[in-house]
Amino acid sequence: MASLPGRVALSEKFLWALAIHELGHAAVAFATGAGKLWGVSIESKASASVERQILGAAVMEAGEVENHGKQFYLDNIAVFRRAN
């Protein structure tokens, strides 16, 4: 455990923004029907020394692999588009 990077608590302001961001993914998935939502999660702490890390997620059912139409892909682009 001593060799792992330390973790620091995230501010309330950052946690609020992170929650809104992840809920945005979930709302678009619901509105477009792009996937069944299993849950939304956010981390309350982050690694102190890692530059890039996953701090939140909207978890959706993958569904069956098949040849989807254009609208399926457009909906998924909308769900997973990175906010700037």
In a domain, 29, yes or no: yes
In a domain, 74, yes or no: yes
Specify the 3-state DSSP secondary structure of 69.
Answer: coil
Q: Residue holding tokens 């950052």? A: 14
In a domain, 19, yes or no: yes
Q: Residue holding tokens 């530059």? A: 51
Compute the CA torsion angle 38, 42, 48, 49 (nearest 10 deg). Answer: 30
Q: Is the pLDDT of residue 74 over 70?
A: yes
One-letter identity of residue 63:
G
Structure confidence by residue, pLDDT tens digits, 27-59? 888 888 777 888 999 999 999 888 889 999 988
In a domain, 12, yes or no: yes
- The half-sphere exposure of 80 on its side-chain side, counting CA atoms within 13 A, is 10
In a domain, 46, yes or no: yes
Question: Is the pTM above the cut of 0.85?
Answer: no
Domain range for residue 59?
A: 7-80
In a domain, 2, yes or no: no
In a domain, 1, yes or no: no
Q: Per the structure, how many domains does the chain have?
A: 1
